[in-house]
Amino acid sequence: MLKNLNFFNVSRLIEGKSFTFCHICRRQFINLRKVMEKLVFTVGHSNHEPEYFVQLLQAHDVNCVVDVRSVAASARNPGFNKKPLEAFLLQHDIRYLHFEQGFGARQENPSLHDESGQVDFEKVQRTAAFLEAVQRLERGLEKGFRIALMCSEANPLDCHRFSMISGYLQQHGFSIWHILKDASLANHPDLESELLEKYRKKLPRPSLFEPDIAESDRLNSAYRLHNRDIGWSQKSTSGVSEGEW
């Protein structure tokens, strides 16, 4: 059964502990409210039927989809092309927005590339377009929208929405939850742990000569390795999903 995540059902928000409204003391209530105010979901349309995709959104009370594909089109699943998707979501009272400039993976400006011509996510995160997209998210949340960032890949770890967008948001006070293809949720810190494990053998470790390597240093290195694996490049289309074209 698909479970809702709402203000009175928050057991998945606080590290597995079960809370109900009547059991939350004032301080916990205030802290929880702050979390809920900056709650953002992500989701991938994958090869789902549009009807099932809407069920995924409704399971978590999402009423606004922000498309983070550079080009809002899918050759394999045309129901997720921009116009039909926007119309279909509207039928279900879900708003559609497209943040291709700020949040799209295919950044063609050479100043945002590394020396090999691949998009550098950290450079993108410092652009005016990216920061404006973040501000638009904040304004949407202030208006009461429950927002999901949408791209193509079902697994967030295969997508730039994880490392280019969600990582930044998590570090800047947002609470990020990833809707998986079975409608369950994965929180961003848990997926960061998976990221660290994936690149474990390539990450720096404290040593006699470098004793001060912190876990945050290892995580930043893991993000950069993930960027290298999935980032769009002028020389190759590897790492760019079909939804990005």
pTM of the model: 0.81
Distance CA 206, CA 2 (A): 43
Distance CA 76, CA 211 (A): 50
Mean pLDDT (the chain, rounded): 85
Distance CA 58, CA 56 (A): 6
Rg (CA), the chain: 18
Query: Does residue 14 fall inside a structural domain?
Result: no
- Across the beta sheet with 175-179, what order do the strands follow? 95-98, 64-67, 147-151, 39-44, 175-179, 185-187
Q: What is the pLDDT of residues 22-42, one digit of tens each?
A: 544 544 444 445 456 699 999
Q: Is 180 exposed, middle or buried (0-12, 13-18, 19+ CB in 10 A)?
A: middle
Distance CA 243, CA 75 (A): 7
| Helix H or strand E encompassing 42 | strand 39-44
Q: What is the pLDDT of residues 146-157, one digit of tens each?
A: 999 999 999 999
Q: What is the pLDDT of residues 113-124, one digit of tens each?
A: 999 999 999 999
Distance CA 57, CA 54 (A): 5
Q: What is the pLDDT of residues 57-99, one digit of tens each?
A: 999 999 999 999 999 999 889 999 999 999 999 999 999 999 9
Reference 240, options 55, 88, 73; nearest CA is 73
pLDDT range class, residue 240, cuts 50, 70, 90: very low
* Total count of domains within the chain: 1
Query: Does residue 11 fall inside a structural domain?
Result: no
Mean of the pLDDT values across residues 135-160? 97
What confidence score (pLDDT) does residue 204 get? 74
What confidence score (pLDDT) does residue 243 get? 40
- List the beta bridge partners of residue 9: 6
Handedness of CA 44, 229, 98, 190 (dihedral sign): positive
Query: Does residue 19 fall inside a structural domain?
Result: no
Q: What is the pLDDT of residues 8-24, one digit of tens each?
A: 344 444 444 444 445 44
Contact 99, 68 (CB under 8 A): yes
Query: Does residue 26 fall inside a structural domain?
Result: no
User: Per-residue pLDDT for 181 more than 80?
Assistant: yes
44: three-class secondary structure by DSSP: strand
Query: Does residue 201 fall inside a structural domain?
Result: yes
What confidence score (pLDDT) does residue 18 get? 43
CA angle 147, 151, 156 (to 5 degrees): 90
User: Domain range spanning residue 120?
Assistant: 34-244
What confidence score (pLDDT) does residue 207 get? 61
| Sequence-separated (6 or more) residues with CB below 8 Å from residue 51 | none
Query: Does residue 29 fall inside a structural domain?
Result: no
